[in-house]
Homo-oligomer: A and B are copies of this chain.
Amino acid sequence: MRLEYRLSERKKAILNAVIRDYITYGEPLGSRTIVQRHGFTLSPATIRNEMAELEEAGLLLQPHTSAGRVPSDKGYRFFVDHLMGAYVPSQEELIFIRRLEQTSRAIDAILSQATRILAEATQSVALAETPRLRRNHLQELHFQYLDPFSLVLSLIYRNGLRRQSVLKLSHSIYDGVLDLLSNYLNTQLRTTNSLDELFHRTVTLPLEQEVQKYRAIVMEMVSEIYAQAQRDERVYLTGTSYLLREPEFQSMEQAYPILSFLDQEHFVRQLFHSASHGVQIEGTHHVYCLIGYENTHEELQHCSLVATPYFIEDKASGMIGVLGPTRMDYSKVTAILQTVASNISLTMSKLF
């Protein structure tokens, strides 16, 4: 996906100028404006020639014959890969983001607050997923007898994440059997990476001899654990209205498909999945970027996504990201996203 072009320094400077101005003003850029605003010691005619070549290379576009130039998706890609520098968040922004640490101390509350902060700081749509309870590396299952029909279940993950909950069963279970089953499941875990695998293996493969007679109970336990995890995997999304302020989404034909897409949680999940196949932004710690046509979902052809995982005890646990028009301020968004994500990681790691 990454683009390699041999561009003269001058072409780079011009491309850079066009993209920066377009991001700022949202209007096609003409040769004269470029010269004036960036103090090139060249005439507009020269710029025009250069821009014509940049267009031939597919980095710029002309909305129509007599309009100025606009960056193409490839142009943005080149910009993100080679031209944009690192943005340094202002003191105010840092203070604003840091409000996260002071607030609530539950994973859900942190993510909910984080998306809110992220959306406001970037004036874009912010999205986050809770830790992938079914996919993350699970280390241990721990059960504690409560009454014949209920257990206290503790899930202990490699990244230190722990979930405790009460597990209700329709079969009664005795303390001795519980130990047996607990041992069995934890043995299974040694060759299994995640709840997902444990669940599918239990459902599809025959059980070992020793627990054969408790088949129904094992099934119910695993299914119930899996269902609980699934329920607790949520998506947080906020800031859709910021999208509607952008000039490119003023008409409903443009805005509708996107809002409709975002209204469907499973699409948003897929989005996070595809994000990790995006191109990593240079100089960042796992910040990924998908620009316009790089999005597999057609509805998002005019959007870009910047996303990054947050870490619990240095293990990637879930993702958080920003969705905006392709004409977004990539540099700023990247920096703010990174800051927010590392704040999440920090705050969450403190929980354990």
Q: Give A contacts to B, CB under 8 Å.
A: 104, 106, 108-109, 144, 146, 150, 152, 164-166, 227-228, 231, 238-241, 244-245, 250, 252, 255-256, 259-260, 263
Q: Which residues of B contact A108 (CB under 8 A)?
A: 231
Q: Which residues of B contact A165 (CB under 8 A)?
A: 165-166
Bound CA span A282–B21, Å: 59
The verdict on A244 contacting B240 (CB below 8 Å), with A144-B146, A231-B108 known, is: no
A166's contact among B150, B166, B244, B255, by CB below 8 Å, is which? B166
A259's contact among B146, B244, B260, by CB below 8 Å, is which? B244
Bound CA span A323–B109, Å: 27
Instruction: Please determine whether B152 and A231 come into contact, CB atoms closer than 8 angstroms.
Output: no
Instruction: Please determine whether A238 and B263 come into contact, CB atoms closer than 8 angstroms.
Output: yes
A231's contact among B106, B228, B255, by CB below 8 Å, is which? B106
Instruction: Please determine whether B239 and A263 come into contact, CB atoms closer than 8 angstroms.
Output: yes
Q: Which residues of B contact A109 (CB under 8 A)?
A: 231
Instruction: Please determine whether B245 and A256 come into contact, CB atoms closer than 8 angstroms.
Output: yes
Q: Which residues of B contact A241 (CB under 8 A)?
A: 256, 259-260, 263
Q: Which residues of B contact A227 (CB under 8 A)?
A: 104, 106
